[in-house]
Structure 1
């Protein structure tokens, strides 16, 4: 029997409690905002009244039996999953739970080399050892695309003791591979498939997107409901499919290892309402958004020096799929870097975008998108293009990461380290991650050998004032290496 997706059990319970106006002789200590009046005056009293902690009549997230359990069941059904678990520490905690559920210490897990740092942190927590699959790269745009089923099959053949596959759907740039085939290849070899779906929550709710993890038959996925599903920042969901590889109660136990004992009901309620909206109106809202974005791409592609790739571009150059809510614009022909365009947009037009790299900018659109936002963006790009100097920018070819892993990330994390000048670090084993953030993909991860190619690449990125993170030295003049 289908559940009523118009219901919001948790949100209704919290609203009832707020209306009760009970005497709050319990934590939190701000007592309905009376102890935080400046903040309350700005955000409103209801938000502070919803800030509850293990209140009678409202469920416990780590062992739900009432309204949270009901709301999680509604979430699972909305996504076509067997079980759903609310996350209040972002998709990071979901990714880590997936890895720890699938891998015991010392087990191998196949992951794409363009993985987010949360995956590498999951390897440290679990003690799993990575087997990397090299993603395809579009050198014209200067972006990483994704892995192919043939590359995955080769990695499985070379590493028969690997116990799981983790993949990304879609990437930060909105690029998705053939997830159906990737799942099929892994399952043929008796391996569960875990999906980092941080940027793909919405894809399940409209036919015009790449296939979602649950639709493709993946065993588990972690989705950032806050990124593209409409809930508040830090709220995500872990989804478990009908799977031969995982037990729902065990996954809950693993998740409880990192759960907070003081979850935010403000965040949890936002997920309850966001799920209702996606399930009941997602097709309508997302269809309208896709129509607007089709128009926006056409307008941008009419501006000399700019290129906003479409689904057809990636189908012809991969083939890969594109989540069109990620509005990627290549600016290289303007003679400006993506970083320079990002700065101009913020400084001169009061427009904030999601990401910039050497050659592109990325605007992420969403359920609440307004045509006036896109009009302002297009107008600003046209103005920037008119005044561009047209200087020549030497393209930095994206390097293929073929890391030499000398020890598992967990071992490297706990080993003694010493600082070495970046220029002199070739041949050393890195004791930290060095990444461009966003998107948070390591150029080198701990336990891997630093090569001269990586050093040269980092130096070029520094020259272009890219934001590098993960190192103890924020200027990346020195790196920590294993003693």
Structure 2
């Protein structure tokens, strides 16, 4: 599994007791954000570990970039293991041929889609798709789901999924054609604005990026003098625009089936206005959201650490050398720096301070003030 997997995947590791083998994602040398995992990296791990039972991918990620899911699926099946794909941000992909194909059509074994993210069903509603490739058992999946889901499912959420399914089946191609046109209009306009960059097709083929979602606008704003965090805040408070995501250099905007010429023009006018404001230029040349090289040292299993009753809280600056029992996840980029069972080292602490100083936040820790951290009491 990618180290950049959603925290719910780590929750699954805790509940199942599985042993994760991490794949470090590539990072774009210029842009700096986490990208896809390569086919070669996965094959190297499969050759090294002969007891792998499944591969987990996130495709697309928050930035809309994707690995070569078809090749990874073929590779996984050639080794006799299942491919699980977190396609939370890609539930719309299968409804228009100008988008990269969905992992469903590429024959991944299990695919989860957050239908509420890009299709418009109610929040918390999602779909789990299963392809009968001979690597997973549908009946067993249903049994496991019964352990995690309510025995009284919400009819409102189910109805919203069904209504969304009907809308996309009957109107999806037309609506997504509009999305593509609006996104390209916005991308072209942003590229004409002083101090802004908006990435597109030039991403493909670089650092394991096989495809990207054209409805995502990855807008680099740091040359304007505003960080991505500051731009996000200004758009929210001055222009009543909520972006999908921000990091120190970028804001990421999603064009959806709910958008119109009017909403896109509102975004473009706001961005143009921001480029005309005078502001002290930030120095982001020494800022990287890439975590320290190498994976942390695991001392005990994630599950054992998470459920340990022998724990205590200590000041964060005293945690070096101790085994953590909680997650330390800088956001962005949302990649766990440390998970339960791993040892805090000095470079982890330095990296946390580096990120916090530049506007990033840390999630997963019990102490929201970040003054203390919970460790194993050995």
Query: Which TM-score tier does this pair reach, normalised by the shorter chain?
Result: over 0.9
CA 1:408–1:467 in 2, change beyond 3 Å: closer, same or farther? same
The equivalent position to 2:228 in structure 1, one of 338, 343, 348, is 338
Out of 197, 200, 203, the residue aligned to residue 90 of structure 2 is 200
Shift of 1:379: 0.9
In structure 2, the partner of 1:224 is 114
- Equivalent in the alignment of 2:32: 142
- Name the structure 2 match of 1:32: none
Cα distance in 1, alignment partners of residues 169 and 100 from structure 2: 18
* 1:460–1:439 CA distance, 2 compared to 1 (3 A): closer
Deviations 1:82-101 (CA, angstroms, capped at 9, x unpaired):
xxxxxxxxxxxxxxxxxxxx
The reply to whether residue 445 of structure 1 matches residue 335 of structure 2 is no
Aligned to 2:295: 402
Per the TM alignment, residue 439 of structure 1 is displaced from its structure 2 partner at its CA by 6.3
Taking the TM superposition and a 5 Å limit, the aligned residue runs for 1:70-469 are 111-316=1-206, 318-394=208-284, 395-397=286-288, 398-399=290-291, 400=293, 402-415=295-308, 416-437=310-331, 440-469=334-363
Contact 1:113/1:401 (<8 A) preserved: no
What is the Cα-based RMSD across aligned positions, in Å? 1.5
Farther off after superposition, 434-443 or 206-215: 434-443
Q: 1:409 to 1:132 in 2, by over 3 A?
A: same
Q: Matched residue of 2:57: which SS?
A: strand
| TM-score between the two structures when normalised by the length of structure 1 | 0.75
Asked whether the equivalents of residues 36 and 209 of structure 2 are also in contact (C-alpha less than 8 Å), the reply is no
Q: Contact 1:338/1:361 (CA < 8 Å) preserved in 2?
A: yes
> Which stretch of the first structure deviates more once superposed, 117-126 or 350-359?
350-359
Cα deviation for residue 390 of structure 1 reads 4.3
Please state how far the C-alpha of 1:170 moved relative to its aligned partner. Answer: 0.5
Contact 2:216 2:254 in 1 (8 A): yes
Structure 2 residue runs of 5 or longer lacking an equivalent are: none
Q: CA deviation at 1:396?
A: 1.5
CA-CA distance at 1:264 after TM superposition:
1.3
Q: Distance in 2 between matches of 1:324 and 1:271?
A: 24
- Seen in structure 2, the aligned counterparts of structure 1 residues 388 and 402 have a Cα distance that, compared at 3 Å, is farther
d(CA) in 1 for partners of 2:260, 2:29: 33
> What CA deviation, in whole Å up to 9, does each residue of 1:229-254 have, x standing for no partner?
22111000000001212222211111
CA distance in 1, matches of 2:363, 2:22: 22
Q: Deviations over 1:112-152 (max 9, x none)?
A: 01111000001001111100011101142221001010000
Contact 1:197 1:221 in 2 (8 A): yes
Unpaired runs of 5+ residues, structure 1, are 1-110
* Per-residue deviation, 1:161: 0.9
CA contact (8 A) 2:248 2:359 kept: no
CA contact (8 A) 2:218 2:250 kept: yes
Deviation at 1:402, TM superposition (A): 1.6
Which secondary structure does the structure 2 equivalent of 1:215 belong to? coil
Give, in angstroms, the shift of residue 438 of structure 1. 6.1
User: Which structure has greater helix proportion?
Assistant: 1
State the distance in 1 between where 2:335 and 2:11 align: 12
Length, aligned pairs only: 373
The change in CA–CA distance for 1:335 and 1:318 in structure 2 (over 3 A counts) is farther
**Which string of whole-angstrom CA distances, capped at 9 and with x for unpartnered residues, describes residues 368-404 of structure 1?**
1122111111111111111142423233222245222
Q: Is the 8 A contact 1:336 1:393 kept in 2?
A: no
Is the 2:179–2:259 contact (alpha carbons within 8 Å) kept by the matching residues of 1?
A: yes
